[in-house]
Amino acid sequence: MGFLSTVPATSNSNVDIHNLTTTVYGSAIAGRGAPRFELAEEEMEPRVAARFIHDHLLLDGTPSLNLASFVTTYMEEEAEKLMMEHLSVNFIDVEEYPASAEIETRCVNMIARLFNAPVDTPESEALGVSTIGSSEAIILAVLAAKRLWKNKRKAAGKSTENPNIVMNAAVQVCWEKAARYLEVEERYWYCKPGQYVLDPKEAVELVDENTILVCAILGTTYTGQYEDVAGLNDELEKKNKELGIDVHIHVDAASGGFVAPFVVPDLIWDFRVPLVCSINVSGHKYGLAYAGVGWAIWRDKSFLPDDILFTVNYLGSPQVSFTLNFSKSAVQVIGQYYQLLRLGKTGYRAIMTNLTATADFLAQEILDIDQGERFELLSEINGAGLPLVAWKLKNLGKYDEFAIARTLRSRGWIVPAYTMAPHTETMKLLRVVVREDFSRDRCQIFLRDLKDALKQLDVTPEVVLDHQAEQHLQQAAAKHKRSHKHRRHDNHSLQGTAGKTHAVC
């Protein structure tokens, strides 16, 4: 037995066992946890760092099962490869990367023509820019409109105080941001029970000589309905004549810009409408590119005042720059260009038609539950709105839409329940956005889980349901308190004043 050491292994204390281990979870860091507040002194193995971040991110939802969002969760491998190859290209450096800049121009030309922008010849360059998303595009469009209005007012010797924008209170939060950042009064038309899109006549009543833009939404985030751009145009033409003013329309086509041209080509909403001066669209929604790309398109040069444009040198020739950012990756624009080339009109039409059919199928199946006794549909069918399904309970029983959302969440599905826009906020609804990867097959699995969730809720005693709802509220409040990002410091916005809950988009 003499070969057994009498010295305990642990007494060899000057050797750090972590120097000997080559495993991720045997490492010192696995025993301690990753730093949260201060940059660590020591390095970490690449494998270990990557594994920790990977493990942490597992707590996020699965993007494909997130039926709340409009943002692309699927692109082909070829597109992903192309994007990976160009991760280090700085988009703003047009001198170094002229090909990326030309790709942007090509995208602008194609999208502007898709929106029927007037162009002199088939080879004329259209006017627009790529952005990080519709939010940046909308801020730029409001900035241009405000400056244009100001310049005209100044020239006429009139006051340039108190500019305003007229819009539906159901606008996406970026409109509130644009108005507040750029100091423009928000003039809201409010939804009423049964009407969630702008009434053209009532909206135009809010227009006066200080109105810099009227906003029309092509696909509201609440119900996906398209606002009546042509009707708005007619009312606004009358008003312009009556007051001797020149107010134009901006169409927020964040979601609908890549849907309507393919599903309802006869719907007149774009530059075919005379007073439409600018349009935004999110490339990362139905443009089918990954997050980080949007587009702002203007009818013509007269809507982009020179004094807000900057000129950068592009291979010796001047290139106009109109953006809120400077350096950014070129990969999102490259991803968008891939989709435009790859799909063409036929490809987009095929995908958007399928999505619309899937949304119709889902809507019908939901309506059919309990022979139509249970749910009421709030979104459109047959392509008259975005391919999404928004619905509500017909009668409030012992549980509400939020309880259904919670139960679906426990199956992995992220389906938002939210309250309607200001003045109709007592109404609750559920919404499923039909994205490219929400195939008919996935839709059928979702329906099965929805029906199971309802069955489960039906047999759950009321006290338990009430307790769960209460617990959920408490957890939400605690989360709110913990999060520095969501400090309630706004007494001005629709969220602060009217308790508006912004639909996820």
Ligand X SMILES: *Cc1c(COP(=O)(O)O)cnc(C)c1O
Cα 413 to Cα 56, 139, 270, 362, distances in angstroms: 20, 33, 35, 15
Min CB(444)–ligand X separation in Å = 27
Complex with ligand X: residue 66 or 210, whichever CB lies closer: 66
From 29, 117, 217, 494, residue interacting with ligand X (rule: CB under 6 A): 217
| Angstrom distance (rounded) from CA 426 to CA 432 | 20
CA 130/CA 108 separation, integer angstroms = 8
Taking CB under 6 A as the binding criterion, the range among 37-45, 206-214, 247-255, 467-475 that sits at the site for ligand X is: 247-255
For the bound state, the minimum distance from the C-beta of residue 380 to ligand X, rounded and expressed in Å, comes to: 15
- The footprint of ligand X on residues 149-178 (CB under 6 A) is 172, 174
Closer to ligand X by Cβ: residue 173 or 498: 173
Report in angstroms how near the CB of residue 70 gets to ligand X at its nearest: 6
d(CA 199, CA 231): 9
Count CB neighbours of 20 within 10 A.
8
When asked if residue 255 is in the footprint of ligand X (CB under 6 A), the reply is: yes
Rounded alpha-carbon distances, angstroms, from residue 358 to 1, 119, 208, 218, 363: 76, 36, 43, 20, 8
Helices (H), 327-398: 331-368
Q: What is the DSSP string of 233-254?
A: HHHHHHHHHHHT----EEEE-T
Binding flag, residue 214, ligand X (CB under 6 A): no
Q: In what order do the strands lie in the sheet with 375-377?
A: 375-377, 388-393, 428-433, 417-419
- Please pick, from the candidates 223, 282, 379, 424, the single residue that binds ligand X as defined by CB under 6 A: 282
Which residue stretch of 43-51, 129-137, 194-202, 365-373 sits at the interface with ligand X (rule: CB under 6 A)? 129-137
Q: Which stretch binds ligand X (CB under 6 A): 177-185, 250-258, 461-469, 471-479?
A: 250-258
Terminal CA-CA length for the chain: 72
243/324 with CB nearer ligand X: 324
State the DSSP code for 373: T
- Phi and psi at 306, nearest 5°, equal -60, -35
210: Cβ contacts below 8 Å, ≥ 6 apart: 149, 162, 163, 164, 185
356 is an interface residue for ligand X by CB under 6 A: no
Question: Does 197 sit near ligand X (CB under 6 A)?
Answer: no
Residues 6-35 vs ligand X: string with x where CB under 6 A? ------------------------------
Task: Name the residue number minimizing CB distance to ligand X.
Answer: 133
Q: Please name which of 450, 408, 392 lies closest in space to residue 193, comparing C-alpha atoms.
A: 392
Residue from the set 130, 168, 221, 223 that interacts with ligand X by CB under 6 A:
221
Which one, 305 or 422, has the nearer CB to ligand X?
Answer: 422
Q: Does 134 help bind ligand X (rule: CB under 6 A)?
A: yes
Q: Candidates 37-45, 131-139, 192-200, 471-479 — which segment interacts with ligand X by CB under 6 A? A: 131-139
Instruction: Using CB under 6 A, list all residues that contact ligand X.
Output: 70, 133-135, 172, 174, 217, 221, 252, 254-255, 282, 294, 505
